[in-house]
Chains A and B, each alone.
Chain A
Amino acid sequence: MAVKVIIPTPLRPYAGKQESVEMEAGNVREALAGLTTRFGELKKHLYSDDGRLRSFVNVYVNDEDIRYLEKEETQLRDGDIVSIVPSIAGGARK
């Protein structure tokens, strides 16, 4: 399926300064894998060492959070837009 992946501002320097990337992917997992294969430096900012999407990385297919769909197995259709949207979190002590 031909989809567009929207890259958030803080990751654009690691993706050739592109705001979006078009690719073929059947589900969200494939889309993110395609993104990190093309731009290897993105991987550590999207995934923790155990291979899971970092908790502050939110992924939407069109306007729906994949947590409420099939997560990374969410199927994609032609023309879908996959958006990576940050949460911002932190705090004073560990």
Chain B
Amino acid sequence: MSVSPLRISDALLRRIQAHGVETFPHECCGAMLGRDSETSREVIELLPLANRRDDSPRNRFEVTPSDVQMAEKKAREMRVDVIGWYHSHPNAPARPSEFDREHAWPWYSYVIVSVEASGPRDTKSWRLRDDRSAYDPEVIESVAQSASI
């Protein structure tokens, strides 16, 4: 499956990585707000969120439905959409786990940042296939500056 690149500024990518460093060794999570069209998808803003998995934050994250609705409300106010979610993998690769796949929604971009004690490592983006069998990698395309709202 071929998907359009995820366009995101270096500044926003660094903010995702910084969030993962801040919460290490726990997983961080947040919403990515932006615009999607047939040919492109661009992140305009981030909304860091609380990881609601208090019971297992080192290897699990959860955004509750009320937090999803809050993110969607924020997106509407900014006249954009929630186009995806980011989270970190402490001491684990920036690729989706089987748990990630089982709980994923189609269409969204999923950015994962691998974080170690020494700092952030890989940052990659993924899209769930229509048949839910696997993820396809999504190219992260650096843009000089996110488009103004």
Contacts and interface: CB of A to CB of B under 8 A. Distances in A.
B103 A89 contact: yes
Nearest to B36: A9
A29 B129 CA distance: 26
A54 B81 CA distance: 24
Contacts of B46: none
A85 interface: yes
B97 A91 contact: yes
Given A9-B81, A58-B65, A85-B69, A90 B103 contact: yes
B136 interface: no
A56 B59 CA distance: 17
Interface class of chain A by DSSP: mixed
Interface residues of B, number: 38
Interface stretch (A10-18, A32-40, A70-78): A10-18
Interface residues of A, number: 25
Contacts of A90: 60-61, 87, 96-97, 99-100, 103-104, 110
Contact of B68 (A44, A87, A91): A87
Interface of B: 27, 29, 53, 56, 58-65, 68-69, 72, 81-82, 85, 87, 89-92, 96-100, 103-108, 110, 130-132
Interface of A: 8-14, 41, 44-45, 54-56, 58, 65, 85-94
